[in-house]
Amino acid sequence: MRRRRLGFWRWIAVILIKPIMLLFTRRTWRGLEHVPTTGPAILVSNHISHADPLVVAHFVYEAGRWPRFLAKSGLFRNPVLGYLLREVEQIPVYRGTADAAKSLEEAIAGLRAGKTVIIYPEGTITRQPDLWPMRGKTGVARLALATGAPVIPIAQWGAQRLYDPIRKKIRIRPRTPVTVVAGPPVDLSAWRDAPPTKATLHEMTDTIMRHIQDLLVEIRGETPPELDVPPAAAGQGER
Protein backbone atom coordinates (compact mmCIF):
# COMPACT_ATOMS: atom_id res chain seq x y z
CA MET A 1 0.00 0.00 0.00
CA ARG A 2 1.64 3.21 -1.15
CA ARG A 3 1.85 6.23 1.05
CA ARG A 4 0.31 8.57 -1.53
CA ARG A 5 -2.86 6.48 -1.56
CA LEU A 6 -3.58 6.75 2.17
CA GLY A 7 -3.94 10.48 2.76
CA PHE A 8 -2.98 12.47 5.85
CA TRP A 9 -5.31 11.13 8.54
CA ARG A 10 -4.99 7.50 7.56
CA TRP A 11 -1.22 7.78 7.67
CA ILE A 12 -1.47 9.41 11.11
CA ALA A 13 -3.60 6.45 12.26
CA VAL A 14 -0.99 3.98 10.96
CA ILE A 15 1.91 5.90 12.54
CA LEU A 16 0.15 6.03 15.93
CA ILE A 17 -1.45 2.58 16.12
CA LYS A 18 0.85 0.17 14.29
CA PRO A 19 3.85 0.58 16.67
CA ILE A 20 1.53 -0.04 19.62
CA MET A 21 0.25 -3.25 18.06
CA LEU A 22 3.78 -4.41 17.26
CA LEU A 23 4.83 -3.83 20.87
CA PHE A 24 1.86 -5.27 22.71
CA THR A 25 0.94 -8.27 20.53
CA ARG A 26 2.74 -11.42 19.43
CA ARG A 27 0.95 -12.24 16.22
CA THR A 28 0.11 -15.55 14.61
CA TRP A 29 -1.49 -14.78 11.26
CA ARG A 30 -2.74 -17.21 8.66
CA GLY A 31 -4.73 -16.83 5.47
CA LEU A 32 -3.60 -13.32 4.51
CA GLU A 33 -3.72 -14.52 0.91
CA HIS A 34 -7.51 -14.91 1.17
CA VAL A 35 -8.00 -11.14 1.59
CA PRO A 36 -8.35 -9.81 -1.98
CA THR A 37 -5.69 -7.22 -2.78
CA THR A 38 -8.06 -5.29 -5.05
CA GLY A 39 -11.79 -4.97 -5.57
CA PRO A 40 -14.69 -5.12 -3.14
CA ALA A 41 -14.65 -7.53 -0.20
CA ILE A 42 -16.84 -8.05 2.85
CA LEU A 43 -14.66 -9.17 5.75
CA VAL A 44 -16.57 -10.80 8.62
CA SER A 45 -15.13 -11.62 12.05
CA ASN A 46 -16.15 -12.92 15.44
CA HIS A 47 -16.25 -10.26 18.19
CA ILE A 48 -14.73 -11.10 21.58
CA SER A 49 -13.37 -7.85 23.04
CA HIS A 50 -13.30 -4.07 22.66
CA ALA A 51 -9.63 -4.57 21.76
CA ASP A 52 -10.21 -6.82 18.76
CA PRO A 53 -10.98 -4.07 16.20
CA LEU A 54 -7.32 -3.05 16.52
CA VAL A 55 -6.19 -6.67 16.14
CA VAL A 56 -8.35 -7.25 13.06
CA ALA A 57 -7.47 -3.84 11.59
CA HIS A 58 -3.75 -4.62 11.91
CA PHE A 59 -4.25 -7.96 10.11
CA VAL A 60 -6.29 -6.41 7.29
CA TYR A 61 -3.86 -3.52 6.85
CA GLU A 62 -0.91 -5.91 6.53
CA ALA A 63 -2.95 -7.91 3.99
CA GLY A 64 -2.81 -4.77 1.84
CA ARG A 65 -6.29 -3.32 2.41
CA TRP A 66 -7.59 -0.40 4.42
CA PRO A 67 -9.65 -1.57 7.45
CA ARG A 68 -13.07 0.05 7.11
CA PHE A 69 -15.44 -0.98 9.91
CA LEU A 70 -19.14 -0.65 10.45
CA ALA A 71 -18.94 0.92 13.94
CA LYS A 72 -21.50 1.93 16.56
CA SER A 73 -22.89 5.40 15.87
CA GLY A 74 -22.29 6.42 19.50
CA LEU A 75 -18.57 6.62 18.76
CA PHE A 76 -19.30 9.33 16.20
CA ARG A 77 -21.25 11.59 18.56
CA ASN A 78 -18.10 13.13 20.01
CA PRO A 79 -17.23 15.92 17.53
CA VAL A 80 -13.48 15.24 17.58
CA LEU A 81 -13.61 11.43 17.57
CA GLY A 82 -16.44 11.44 15.06
CA TYR A 83 -14.46 13.67 12.70
CA LEU A 84 -11.38 11.45 12.97
CA LEU A 85 -13.36 8.24 12.42
CA ARG A 86 -14.95 9.73 9.31
CA GLU A 87 -11.55 10.88 8.03
CA VAL A 88 -10.21 7.33 8.30
CA GLU A 89 -13.30 6.03 6.45
CA GLN A 90 -15.21 4.27 9.22
CA ILE A 91 -18.99 3.85 8.82
CA PRO A 92 -21.46 4.62 11.64
CA VAL A 93 -24.21 2.09 12.38
CA TYR A 94 -27.51 3.68 13.45
CA ARG A 95 -29.33 0.85 15.19
CA GLY A 96 -33.04 1.06 15.85
CA THR A 97 -33.43 4.54 14.31
CA ALA A 98 -34.83 6.06 11.13
CA ASP A 99 -31.22 6.38 9.92
CA ALA A 100 -30.48 2.64 10.18
CA ALA A 101 -30.63 2.16 6.39
CA LYS A 102 -27.91 4.80 5.87
CA SER A 103 -25.23 2.46 7.20
CA LEU A 104 -26.14 -0.22 4.68
CA GLU A 105 -26.30 2.33 1.85
CA GLU A 106 -22.86 3.71 2.72
CA ALA A 107 -21.38 0.21 2.94
CA ILE A 108 -22.92 -0.73 -0.43
CA ALA A 109 -21.52 2.45 -2.00
CA GLY A 110 -18.06 1.65 -0.62
CA LEU A 111 -18.16 -1.90 -1.96
CA ARG A 112 -19.32 -0.74 -5.37
CA ALA A 113 -16.34 1.63 -5.35
CA GLY A 114 -14.04 -1.38 -4.83
CA LYS A 115 -13.39 -0.95 -1.11
CA THR A 116 -13.44 -3.40 1.78
CA VAL A 117 -15.96 -3.36 4.62
CA ILE A 118 -15.36 -5.15 7.94
CA ILE A 119 -18.43 -6.37 9.80
CA TYR A 120 -19.01 -8.13 13.09
CA PRO A 121 -22.13 -10.14 12.14
CA GLU A 122 -22.99 -10.68 15.81
CA GLY A 123 -23.46 -6.92 16.16
CA THR A 124 -21.87 -6.87 19.60
CA ILE A 125 -19.32 -8.74 21.69
CA THR A 126 -20.52 -12.33 21.92
CA ARG A 127 -22.59 -13.33 24.94
CA GLN A 128 -21.85 -17.01 24.44
CA PRO A 129 -20.01 -18.86 27.22
CA ASP A 130 -16.26 -18.96 26.72
CA LEU A 131 -16.54 -16.32 23.97
CA TRP A 132 -17.66 -18.65 21.17
CA PRO A 133 -19.58 -16.97 18.31
CA MET A 134 -23.31 -16.55 18.63
CA ARG A 135 -25.87 -16.34 15.83
CA GLY A 136 -25.30 -13.34 13.57
CA LYS A 137 -27.59 -10.58 12.40
CA THR A 138 -28.52 -10.37 8.74
CA GLY A 139 -26.75 -7.17 7.65
CA VAL A 140 -23.85 -9.06 6.08
CA ALA A 141 -26.23 -11.22 4.04
CA ARG A 142 -28.06 -8.12 2.80
CA LEU A 143 -24.73 -6.61 1.72
CA ALA A 144 -23.67 -9.78 -0.07
CA LEU A 145 -26.97 -10.02 -1.98
CA ALA A 146 -26.93 -6.32 -2.88
CA THR A 147 -23.35 -6.22 -4.16
CA GLY A 148 -22.20 -9.74 -5.00
CA ALA A 149 -18.94 -8.95 -3.17
CA PRO A 150 -17.03 -11.95 -1.79
CA VAL A 151 -17.50 -12.65 1.92
CA ILE A 152 -14.20 -13.49 3.62
CA PRO A 153 -14.51 -15.18 7.06
CA ILE A 154 -12.02 -14.19 9.74
CA ALA A 155 -11.61 -15.77 13.18
CA GLN A 156 -9.50 -14.17 15.87
CA TRP A 157 -8.51 -15.12 19.41
CA GLY A 158 -6.37 -13.39 22.02
CA ALA A 159 -7.77 -9.85 22.09
CA GLN A 160 -9.66 -10.82 25.26
CA ARG A 161 -6.26 -10.99 26.95
CA LEU A 162 -5.80 -7.28 26.24
CA TYR A 163 -9.28 -6.35 27.40
CA ASP A 164 -11.32 -8.92 29.28
CA PRO A 165 -14.98 -8.30 28.27
CA ILE A 166 -16.33 -10.41 31.15
CA ARG A 167 -14.40 -8.78 34.00
CA LYS A 168 -14.10 -5.47 32.09
CA LYS A 169 -10.40 -5.21 32.85
CA ILE A 170 -7.54 -3.94 30.72
CA ARG A 171 -4.45 -6.15 30.81
CA ILE A 172 -1.88 -4.51 28.55
CA ARG A 173 1.30 -6.55 28.44
CA PRO A 174 4.03 -6.63 25.80
CA ARG A 175 3.81 -9.47 23.27
CA THR A 176 0.36 -10.71 24.22
CA PRO A 177 -0.41 -13.69 21.93
CA VAL A 178 -3.12 -13.00 19.35
CA THR A 179 -4.13 -15.24 16.46
CA VAL A 180 -6.02 -14.15 13.33
CA VAL A 181 -6.98 -16.57 10.55
CA ALA A 182 -8.78 -15.73 7.30
CA GLY A 183 -10.46 -18.37 5.19
CA PRO A 184 -11.39 -18.53 1.52
CA PRO A 185 -14.59 -16.77 0.39
CA VAL A 186 -17.79 -18.33 1.70
CA ASP A 187 -19.66 -20.14 -1.08
CA LEU A 188 -23.00 -18.31 -1.26
CA SER A 189 -23.81 -19.40 -4.82
CA ALA A 190 -26.95 -21.22 -3.63
CA TRP A 191 -28.52 -17.81 -2.95
CA ARG A 192 -27.28 -15.93 -6.02
CA ASP A 193 -30.08 -13.67 -7.30
CA ALA A 194 -32.37 -14.87 -4.48
CA PRO A 195 -34.87 -12.33 -3.08
CA PRO A 196 -33.85 -11.04 0.38
CA THR A 197 -36.54 -12.92 2.29
CA LYS A 198 -36.18 -13.48 6.01
CA ALA A 199 -35.49 -17.18 5.46
CA THR A 200 -32.82 -16.50 2.83
CA LEU A 201 -31.06 -13.90 4.95
CA HIS A 202 -30.97 -16.17 8.01
CA GLU A 203 -29.71 -19.15 6.00
CA MET A 204 -26.92 -17.08 4.48
CA THR A 205 -26.00 -15.56 7.85
CA ASP A 206 -25.87 -18.95 9.57
CA THR A 207 -23.65 -20.31 6.79
CA ILE A 208 -21.25 -17.37 7.18
CA MET A 209 -21.16 -17.71 10.97
CA ARG A 210 -20.40 -21.43 10.73
CA HIS A 211 -17.38 -20.66 8.56
CA ILE A 212 -16.14 -18.22 11.20
CA GLN A 213 -16.82 -20.77 13.92
CA ASP A 214 -14.93 -23.49 12.03
CA LEU A 215 -11.87 -21.23 11.75
CA LEU A 216 -12.08 -20.51 15.48
CA VAL A 217 -12.26 -24.24 16.23
CA GLU A 218 -9.05 -24.56 14.21
CA ILE A 219 -7.42 -21.90 16.43
CA ARG A 220 -8.72 -23.09 19.79
CA GLY A 221 -8.83 -26.84 19.24
CA GLU A 222 -12.05 -27.10 21.28
CA THR A 223 -15.67 -28.05 20.64
CA PRO A 224 -18.00 -25.03 20.35
CA PRO A 225 -21.56 -24.80 21.67
CA GLU A 226 -24.53 -24.69 19.29
CA LEU A 227 -24.55 -21.56 17.15
CA ASP A 228 -27.39 -19.58 18.75
CA VAL A 229 -28.26 -16.37 20.56
CA PRO A 230 -28.06 -16.69 24.36
CA PRO A 231 -31.12 -15.41 26.29
CA ALA A 232 -29.20 -12.35 27.53
CA ALA A 233 -28.48 -11.30 23.95
CA ALA A 234 -31.88 -12.11 22.45
CA GLY A 235 -34.14 -9.35 21.18
CA GLN A 236 -31.32 -7.07 19.98
CA GLY A 237 -32.91 -6.80 16.54
CA GLU A 238 -31.50 -7.18 13.06
CA ARG A 239 -28.84 -5.10 11.41
Query: 179 with 157: CB under 8 angstroms?
Result: yes
Domain ranges of the chain: 3-223
Average pLDDT over the chain reads 91
CA–CA separation, 110 vs 104, rounded Å? 10
pLDDT band per the 50, 70, 90 thresholds, residue 238: very low
Above pLDDT 70, what percent of the chain?
Answer: 92
Q: Supply the DSSP symbol for 93.
A: E
Q: How many Cβ atoms are within 10 Å of 81's Cβ, its own excluded?
A: 12
CA–CA gap between residue 164 and residue 189 (Å, rounded): 38
Asked if the model's pLDDT at residue 229 lies above 50, the reply is: yes
- pLDDT score recorded for residue 237: 42
pLDDT, tens only, 85-143: 999 999 988 776 656 678 889 999 999 999 999 999 999 999 998 999 999 999 999 99
CB atoms inside a 10 Å sphere around CB 13: 20
- Tens of pLDDT, residue by residue over 185-209, are 999 999 998 999 999 999 999 999 9
Position 101 scores a pLDDT of 76
Distance, in Å, from the CA atom of 24 to the CA atom of 54, rounded to the nearest integer, reads 11
Per DSSP, helices labelled H in 136-196 are 139-147
Mean pLDDT computed over 30-47: 97
Check if CATH label 3.40.50.300 holds for domain 3-223: no
